[in-house]
Amino acid sequence: KNEVEQSPQNLTAQEGEFITINCSYSVGISALHWLQQHPGGGIVSLFMLSSGKKKHGRLIATINIQEKHSSLHITASHPRDSAVYICAVQSPNKLIFGTGTLLAVQP
Amino acid sequence: NAGVTQTPKFRILKIGQSMTLQCAQDMNHNYMYWYRQDPGMGLKLIYYSVGAGITDKGEVPNGYNVSRSTTEDFPLRLELAAPSQTSVYFCASSYSRGATEAFFGQGTRLTVV
Protein backbone atom coordinates (compact mmCIF):
# COMPACT_ATOMS: atom_id res chain seq x y z
CA LYS A 1 0.00 0.00 0.00
CA ASN A 2 1.34 3.43 -0.93
CA GLU A 3 2.10 5.78 1.93
CA VAL A 4 0.25 8.56 0.10
CA GLU A 5 -3.00 7.78 -1.67
CA GLN A 6 -4.95 10.20 -3.83
CA SER A 7 -8.49 9.95 -5.09
CA PRO A 8 -9.84 10.05 -7.63
CA GLN A 9 -7.08 9.17 -10.08
CA ASN A 10 -8.99 10.81 -12.92
CA LEU A 11 -11.67 13.46 -12.75
CA THR A 12 -13.68 15.15 -15.49
CA ALA A 13 -15.77 18.17 -14.61
CA GLN A 14 -17.84 20.78 -16.38
CA GLU A 15 -16.77 24.39 -16.22
CA GLY A 16 -18.12 26.05 -13.11
CA GLU A 17 -18.34 22.89 -11.01
CA PHE A 18 -16.94 22.59 -7.49
CA ILE A 19 -14.10 20.05 -7.44
CA THR A 20 -12.61 18.07 -4.57
CA ILE A 21 -9.44 15.99 -4.69
CA ASN A 22 -8.55 13.88 -1.69
CA CYS A 23 -5.25 12.78 -0.19
CA SER A 24 -4.77 10.23 2.59
CA TYR A 25 -1.45 9.31 4.12
CA SER A 26 -0.24 6.68 6.56
CA VAL A 27 2.95 8.22 7.96
CA GLY A 28 3.72 10.97 10.42
CA ILE A 29 4.26 14.25 8.67
CA SER A 30 5.53 17.74 9.34
CA ALA A 31 3.73 19.28 6.37
CA LEU A 32 1.66 18.44 3.32
CA HIS A 33 2.12 19.96 -0.12
CA TRP A 34 -0.31 20.32 -2.99
CA LEU A 35 1.39 20.67 -6.37
CA GLN A 36 0.10 21.34 -9.87
CA GLN A 37 1.57 19.93 -13.06
CA HIS A 38 0.35 21.04 -16.47
CA PRO A 39 0.78 18.68 -19.44
CA GLY A 40 4.36 18.84 -20.65
CA GLY A 41 5.12 21.41 -18.02
CA GLY A 42 6.87 21.79 -14.75
CA ILE A 43 5.57 21.36 -11.23
CA VAL A 44 4.31 24.33 -9.29
CA SER A 45 3.71 24.45 -5.57
CA LEU A 46 0.14 25.47 -4.72
CA PHE A 47 0.04 25.04 -0.96
CA MET A 48 2.10 23.87 1.94
CA LEU A 49 0.11 23.29 5.12
CA SER A 50 0.56 21.61 8.46
CA SER A 51 -2.83 22.36 10.00
CA GLY A 52 -6.21 23.88 9.25
CA LYS A 53 -7.00 25.51 5.97
CA LYS A 54 -5.43 27.76 3.35
CA LYS A 55 -7.06 29.67 0.51
CA HIS A 56 -5.58 31.16 -2.62
CA GLY A 57 -8.01 32.55 -5.14
CA ARG A 58 -10.41 29.76 -6.13
CA LEU A 59 -8.27 27.08 -4.49
CA ILE A 60 -8.75 25.89 -0.94
CA ALA A 61 -6.68 23.27 0.86
CA THR A 62 -7.60 21.66 4.15
CA ILE A 63 -5.86 19.15 6.35
CA ASN A 64 -7.01 16.98 9.24
CA ILE A 65 -3.92 15.76 11.06
CA GLN A 66 -5.83 13.34 13.31
CA GLU A 67 -7.49 11.65 10.34
CA LYS A 68 -4.35 11.89 8.15
CA HIS A 69 -6.36 13.39 5.35
CA SER A 70 -6.22 16.47 3.16
CA SER A 71 -8.49 17.86 0.49
CA LEU A 72 -7.92 20.30 -2.35
CA HIS A 73 -11.02 22.16 -3.48
CA ILE A 74 -11.43 24.21 -6.64
CA THR A 75 -14.43 26.52 -6.77
CA ALA A 76 -15.95 27.70 -10.07
CA SER A 77 -13.65 25.43 -12.06
CA HIS A 78 -12.30 26.59 -15.40
CA PRO A 79 -10.68 24.74 -18.32
CA ARG A 80 -7.35 26.33 -17.40
CA ASP A 81 -7.50 24.34 -14.13
CA SER A 82 -6.98 21.17 -16.18
CA ALA A 83 -3.78 19.63 -14.87
CA VAL A 84 -2.40 16.89 -12.67
CA TYR A 85 -2.69 17.69 -8.97
CA ILE A 86 -0.13 15.99 -6.76
CA CYS A 87 -0.21 15.56 -3.00
CA ALA A 88 3.15 15.17 -1.26
CA VAL A 89 3.91 14.76 2.44
CA GLN A 90 7.02 15.80 4.31
CA SER A 91 8.02 12.78 6.41
CA PRO A 92 10.21 13.68 8.21
CA ASN A 93 12.91 15.18 6.00
CA LYS A 94 11.90 13.76 2.66
CA LEU A 95 8.94 14.26 0.37
CA ILE A 96 6.69 11.27 -0.36
CA PHE A 97 4.53 11.82 -3.42
CA GLY A 98 1.12 10.56 -4.38
CA THR A 99 0.55 9.40 -7.94
CA GLY A 100 -1.52 12.44 -8.83
CA THR A 101 -5.07 13.23 -9.92
CA LEU A 102 -5.62 14.06 -13.57
CA LEU A 103 -8.27 16.77 -13.78
CA ALA A 104 -9.97 17.75 -17.03
CA VAL A 105 -12.39 20.67 -16.93
CA GLN A 106 -14.57 20.84 -20.01
CA PRO A 107 -16.08 24.11 -21.27
CA ASN B 1 14.58 35.44 -10.15
CA ALA B 2 14.63 32.56 -12.62
CA GLY B 3 13.97 29.98 -9.89
CA VAL B 4 15.07 26.48 -10.88
CA THR B 5 16.31 26.08 -14.43
CA GLN B 6 16.72 22.67 -16.05
CA THR B 7 18.25 21.85 -19.40
CA PRO B 8 17.63 20.24 -21.79
CA LYS B 9 13.84 19.98 -21.94
CA PHE B 10 13.89 16.92 -24.19
CA ARG B 11 16.56 14.41 -25.12
CA ILE B 12 16.76 11.09 -26.93
CA LEU B 13 19.72 8.86 -26.06
CA LYS B 14 20.90 5.61 -27.49
CA ILE B 15 21.56 2.69 -25.14
CA GLY B 16 25.03 3.02 -23.67
CA GLN B 17 25.39 6.75 -24.27
CA SER B 18 26.02 9.20 -21.46
CA MET B 19 24.66 12.63 -20.75
CA THR B 20 24.39 15.28 -18.08
CA LEU B 21 21.14 16.95 -17.06
CA GLN B 22 21.82 20.46 -15.87
CA CYS B 23 20.07 22.14 -12.95
CA ALA B 24 20.66 25.60 -11.58
CA GLN B 25 18.86 27.68 -8.97
CA ASP B 26 19.29 31.33 -8.08
CA MET B 27 17.50 31.36 -4.73
CA ASN B 28 20.58 30.51 -2.65
CA HIS B 29 18.93 27.29 -1.51
CA ASN B 30 21.14 24.79 0.24
CA TYR B 31 18.96 21.79 -0.53
CA MET B 32 18.65 20.42 -4.05
CA TYR B 33 17.05 17.24 -5.34
CA TRP B 34 16.72 15.12 -8.42
CA TYR B 35 13.50 13.15 -8.96
CA ARG B 36 12.24 10.92 -11.71
CA GLN B 37 8.59 10.62 -12.64
CA ASP B 38 7.31 7.47 -14.29
CA PRO B 39 3.76 6.92 -15.59
CA GLY B 40 1.34 5.97 -12.80
CA MET B 41 3.98 6.45 -10.11
CA GLY B 42 4.75 9.21 -7.67
CA LEU B 43 8.01 11.08 -8.03
CA LYS B 44 10.97 9.10 -6.75
CA LEU B 45 14.09 10.68 -5.25
CA ILE B 46 17.31 9.86 -7.10
CA TYR B 47 19.90 11.99 -5.28
CA TYR B 48 19.89 15.01 -3.07
CA SER B 49 22.35 17.54 -1.73
CA VAL B 50 22.31 19.53 1.49
CA GLY B 51 24.97 21.98 0.36
CA ALA B 52 28.00 22.48 -1.83
CA GLY B 53 30.28 19.45 -1.67
CA ILE B 54 27.68 17.20 -0.02
CA THR B 55 25.51 14.70 -1.87
CA ASP B 56 23.61 11.59 -0.86
CA LYS B 57 21.59 8.81 -2.45
CA GLY B 58 17.83 8.79 -2.57
CA GLU B 59 15.49 5.89 -3.28
CA VAL B 60 16.59 5.09 -6.86
CA PRO B 61 20.25 6.13 -7.34
CA ASN B 62 21.51 3.25 -9.48
CA GLY B 63 22.77 4.35 -12.88
CA TYR B 64 23.14 7.99 -11.88
CA ASN B 65 25.78 10.27 -10.39
CA VAL B 66 25.68 13.82 -9.11
CA SER B 67 28.05 16.52 -8.02
CA ARG B 68 27.57 19.80 -6.17
CA SER B 69 30.57 22.04 -6.62
CA THR B 70 28.59 25.25 -6.09
CA THR B 71 25.41 26.20 -4.25
CA GLU B 72 23.72 27.07 -7.54
CA ASP B 73 24.37 23.98 -9.66
CA PHE B 74 23.42 20.34 -9.23
CA PRO B 75 24.00 18.33 -12.42
CA LEU B 76 22.79 14.75 -12.81
CA ARG B 77 24.97 12.40 -14.82
CA LEU B 78 23.68 9.31 -16.60
CA GLU B 79 26.41 6.85 -17.49
CA LEU B 80 25.65 4.00 -19.91
CA ALA B 81 22.02 4.92 -20.49
CA ALA B 82 19.47 2.09 -20.33
CA PRO B 83 15.81 1.93 -21.48
CA SER B 84 14.79 1.76 -17.80
CA GLN B 85 16.03 5.33 -17.46
CA THR B 86 13.38 6.59 -19.87
CA SER B 87 11.49 8.99 -17.65
CA VAL B 88 10.77 12.62 -16.87
CA TYR B 89 13.37 14.12 -14.57
CA PHE B 90 12.74 17.00 -12.21
CA CYS B 91 15.22 19.04 -10.30
CA ALA B 92 14.01 20.85 -7.19
CA SER B 93 15.39 23.05 -4.47
CA SER B 94 14.33 24.20 -1.04
CA TYR B 95 15.63 26.34 1.77
CA SER B 96 15.70 23.37 4.13
CA ARG B 97 14.60 19.74 4.22
CA GLY B 98 11.93 20.45 6.76
CA ALA B 99 8.52 21.92 6.17
CA THR B 100 9.44 24.49 3.57
CA GLU B 101 8.24 25.08 0.05
CA ALA B 102 9.99 23.20 -2.72
CA PHE B 103 10.62 24.80 -6.10
CA PHE B 104 10.71 22.60 -9.17
CA GLY B 105 12.28 22.96 -12.58
CA GLN B 106 10.37 22.47 -15.83
CA GLY B 107 11.46 18.88 -16.22
CA THR B 108 13.54 16.95 -18.75
CA ARG B 109 11.83 14.27 -20.82
CA LEU B 110 14.44 11.62 -21.58
CA THR B 111 13.95 8.69 -23.90
CA VAL B 112 16.55 5.92 -24.17
CA VAL B 113 16.25 3.82 -27.32
Contact call for B103 and A96, based on CB within 8 A: no
> Which chain B residues are within 8 Å of A31, Cβ to Cβ?
98-99
Contact call for A42 and B90, based on CB within 8 A: yes
Helix (H, G, I), strand (E, B) or coil at B101: coil
Average pLDDT, stretch A33-55? 92
Half-sphere exposure of B102 (CA within 13 A, CB side): 32
Give the pLDDT band (50/70/90) at residue A40.
confident
Q: d(Cα A20, Cα A55) in Å, to the nearest integer?
A: 14
Query: Average model confidence (pLDDT) for chain A?
Result: 94
Per-residue pLDDT tens digits for B88-98: 999 999 987 76
Q: Are A26 and A87 in contact (CB under 8 A)?
A: no
pLDDT at A79: 96
Work out whether strand A10-14 and strand A101-106 pair parallel, antiparallel, or are unpaired.
parallel
Per-residue pLDDT tens digits for B5-63: 999 999 999 999 999 999 999 999 999 999 999 988 889 999 999 999 999 999 999 99
pLDDT at B1: 63
Per-residue pLDDT tens digits for A63-102: 999 999 999 999 999 999 999 999 999 887 788 999 999 9
Distance of residue B15 Cα from the nearest chain A Cα, in angstroms: 24
Q: d(Cα A37, Cα A55) in Å, to the nearest integer?
A: 19
